Amino acid sequence: MKHVTTRITRGGAVIAAAGLITIGMGVAPAFAAGPATTVAPATGADPAGQDLTVQGSGFDANANNGFGVYVVFGPKNADYATNAGTFQASKWVHKNGTPTSGQDKMNADGTFNVTLPGVKAQYTDGNGVFHDCLKTQCYVITMAAHGVPDRGQDTFSPVTFTGGENPDPGDPGDPGDPGDPDPSGTGEQTLNTKVNNGALTLSLEGDTAQLSTVAPGENSTGELRDATVTDARGTQAGWNLVGEVTDFSHAQGATIPKGNLAWTPNAQVVDDGSQGAVAPGQEGSLGAARTLASSAPGSSGGVFQAGAGLDLSVPAGTSPGDYTATLTLTLS
């Protein structure tokens, strides 16, 4: 079960909600001319196992719904962007990433610094295919995450190992080499793949939702920051995203009841080829916990986004000032 809290602020009637979500004015980060990576060591790596430090710059942390990029190690095959089983090591780097063995943080300016640990020159991939990076050039590769077809964030940094020949991967080799095509016959190959299960995760676009400034007796409105649900479990078990809010409180003790806040949920499938389905919750008062979005068993796999329009009825006798509430989103 995942909990994300968002703060909602109403200034002069300002509202802030939990995950936490804050809207403000500022200077947009400056991005480099284009994505690039630097790998250390790029040459003379230990074939028995080498930690590779990868520094990235010029990436766009908000591109493709903020999904970020995969940083992987392996050969540059024609299907590198779709055949995840080829790679020996990988990390998902995105703006909401938490440094773990499987993911890391992309900074707002499009930079990152990650480590791919214990990379070896020879390995058998998740498809059962043996790779020898002493004979075939291998790379640290970046690509758009979650199967997004955008190739604008792809980079290829070659890595060579001590004792390796590392020829150009496009070199067909000398005539008569094993694997050369037989012009007079046909051939068959058995293709294998392995798909590992992942996790059910929740992330927010930001941590503060700002509602409009109004006078007592009026309605303060705004938008909840988008929530992204990723169901990579492979079980199609279904999920629910539920929101619950506190009363709006003033520093001097005044309150606006939580039941005065209503929302109009919306939800959509992120176009990643998952063919999943999602339904927004019912609109109405948040006097009690309500469903923001849900996906039924049998069609819950994939990546989804949910949000809501917010409408706070401010009582005519409300004391002026800034009011704050906390909205907690629970994914289960």
**pLDDT tens, residue by residue, 29-77:** 334 468 999 999 999 999 999 999 999 999 999 998 889 999 999 999 9
Supply 70's token pair. Answer: 């995969």
Let me know if residue 189 belongs to a domain.
no
Q: Is the pLDDT of residue 2 over 70?
A: no
Q: Is the pLDDT of residue 255 over 50?
A: yes
Query: What CATH code is carried by the domain that includes residue 140?
Result: 2.60.40.230
Q: Is the pLDDT of residue 237 over 80?
A: yes
pLDDT of residue 94: 93
Let me know if residue 193 belongs to a domain.
no
Let me know if residue 117 belongs to a domain.
yes
- Same domain, yes or no, for 223 and 271? yes
Judge contact between 240 and 294, C-beta under 8 A: yes
Q: How far apart are CA 74 and CA 140, in angstroms?
A: 7
- Same domain, yes or no, for 254 and 293? yes
- Same domain, yes or no, for 217 and 131? no
Residue 127 identity: N
- Same domain, yes or no, for 218 and 321? yes
Let me know if residue 181 belongs to a domain.
no
pLDDT of residue 272: 63
The whole-number average pLDDT for the span 72-100 is 91
pLDDT band, very low/low/confident/very high, at 187 (cuts 50, 70, 90): confident
- Same domain, yes or no, for 258 and 143? no
pLDDT band, very low/low/confident/very high, at 3 (cuts 50, 70, 90): low
pLDDT band, very low/low/confident/very high, at 254 (cuts 50, 70, 90): very high
Name, in order, each residue with C-beta under 8 angstroms of 175's C-beta and a sequence gap of 6 or more: none
pTM of this structure: 0.48
Let me know if residue 16 belongs to a domain.
yes
Q: How far apart are CA 306 and CA 62, in angstroms?
A: 17
- Same domain, yes or no, for 230 and 259? yes
Last residue of a domain, one of 106, 138, 159: 159
- Same domain, yes or no, for 42 and 141? yes
The DSSP call for residue 75 is E
Let me know if residue 188 belongs to a domain.
no
Task: Domain count for the chain, please give it.
Answer: 2
Let me know if residue 327 belongs to a domain.
yes
- Same domain, yes or no, for 288 and 205? yes
pLDDT: which is higher, 311 or 192: 311
Let me know if residue 118 belongs to a domain.
yes
- Same domain, yes or no, for 233 and 257? yes
Residue 260, SS3 per DSSP: helix
Q: Is 183 exposed, middle or buried (0-12, 13-18, 19+ CB in 10 A)?
A: exposed
Q: 281 lies in which domain range?
A: 2-22+198-331
- Same domain, yes or no, for 322 and 232? yes
- Same domain, yes or no, for 307 and 285? yes
Averaged pLDDT of the chain: 84
Share of the chain above pLDDT 70, in %: 82
- Same domain, yes or no, for 16 and 92? no
Last residue of a domain, one of 159, 183, 207: 159
